[in-house]
């Protein structure tokens, strides 16, 4: 048998035709260090409604990037697409460009009575059923938000008068069966699917969505500060679905939180003894 050799165990990342990072098609200097992460490309426009000097600078597949200025602060929003796999690509490539702080702006289904449609949930940690972060590190490793980002989001929600709460999110790589949504009465419906929601409720998980755990783990391992603010679009306790301004509120809260963080970074640079791992 001839021995198979590999040119390298560490492949170099491909580049885009404009010499930018492969999927986001962005180059060094295109985006600031503070980036919002909506899932949907269209939500970059909702975010930018609060900005001036808005420019769409790249759009390829699910990844659209818009830059602009929010109350004097330069921000960018890059859409991640749905799920952990495309989130990983997005975060990895943003880190290549020097991005250090990201806030996911998304939607979620709540499974506890404390939250209703259009409320905001700030996940402090997630159950890692995303299917992507397992490719980075063992399942016992936690998916958790950066405390400073959580506090900035709380402060932003208080200032803006938005109803919000802290959450423990179940991030799962499935929207239908994996979130307890059958195809139809006779379709595939394994016995475990019946128990997904009640078991999560027993464990006092607050909400279900598809991206946050992967983003928290990948971002943390790349030395970034990560957080998320999710508007409740599904109420699984009452089996209701709908958005009546929740997404806009999440977008505004994230912009405001970035402003708070940037001010803190300027005025009180992080004590290296406390946060040696984060490279802001």
Enzyme catalytic residues = 23, 93, 181, 236
Q: Within a 13 Å sphere around the CA of 131, how many CA atoms are in the beta-carbon half?
A: 13
Specify the residue, 237 or 280, whose C-beta has the smaller distance to ligand URA.
Answer: 237
| Of 88-96, 105-113, 162-170, 252-260: span binding ligand URA (CB under 6 A) | 105-113
Contact between 109 and ligand URA (CB under 6 A)?
A: yes
Contact between 210 and ligand URA (CB under 6 A)?
A: yes
Contact between 234 and ligand URA (CB under 6 A)?
A: yes
Specify the residue, 107 or 133, whose C-beta has the smaller distance to ligand URA.
Answer: 107
**Using the rule CB under 6 A, which residue among 93, 119, 146, 209 binds ligand URA?**
209
Contact between 233 and ligand URA (CB under 6 A)?
A: yes
For ligand URA, the binding residues in 117-136 under the rule CB under 6 A are: none
Shortest CB 11 distance to ligand URA, Å: 32
Shortest CB 117 distance to ligand URA, Å: 11
Shortest CB 82 distance to ligand URA, Å: 8
**Using the rule CB under 6 A, which residue among 108, 132, 215, 235 binds ligand URA?**
108
Measured from each CB, the residue nearest to ligand URA is: 109
For ligand URA, the binding residues in 142-201 under the rule CB under 6 A are: 175, 179
The position carrying tokens 């426009």 is: 45
Using CB under 6 A, list all residues that contact ligand URA: 107-109, 175, 179, 208-210, 233-234
């Amino acid at each position: 048998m001839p021995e198979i050799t590999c040119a390298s165990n560490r492949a170099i990342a491909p580049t885009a035709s404009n010499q930018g990072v492969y999927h986001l098609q962005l180059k060094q200097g295109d985006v600031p260090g503070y980036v919002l992460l909506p899932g949907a490309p269209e939500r970059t426009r909702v975010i930018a409604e609060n900005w001036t000097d808005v420019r769409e600078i790249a759009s390829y597949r699910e990844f659209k990037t818009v830059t602009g200025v929010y109350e004097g602060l330069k921000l960018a929003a890059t859409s991640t697409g749905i799920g952990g796999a495309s989130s990983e690509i997005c975060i990895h490539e943003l880190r290549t460009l020097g991005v250090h702080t990201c806030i996911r702006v998304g939607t979620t289904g709540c499974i506890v009575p404390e939250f209703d449609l259009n409320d905001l949930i700030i996940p402090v940690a997630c159950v890692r059923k995303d299917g992507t972060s397992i490719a980075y590190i063992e399942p016992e490793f936690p998916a958790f938000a950066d405390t400073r980002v959580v506090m900035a989001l709380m402060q932003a929600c208080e200032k803006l008068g938005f109803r919000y709460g802290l959450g423990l999110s179940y991030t799962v790589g499935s929207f239908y069966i994996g979130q307890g949504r059958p195809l139809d009465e006779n379709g595939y419906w394994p016995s475990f699917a019946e128990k997904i929601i009640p078991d999560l409720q027993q464990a006092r998980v607050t909400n279900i969505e598809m991206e946050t755990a992967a983003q928290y783990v990948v971002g943390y391992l790349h030395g970034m500060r990560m957080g998320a603010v999710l508007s409740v679009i599904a109420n699984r306790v009452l089996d209701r679905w709908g958005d009546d301004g929740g997404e806009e509120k999440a977008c505004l809260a994230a912009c405001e939180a970035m402003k708070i963080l940037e001010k803190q970074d300027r005025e009180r640079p992080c004590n290296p003894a406390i946060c040696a791992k984060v490279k802001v």
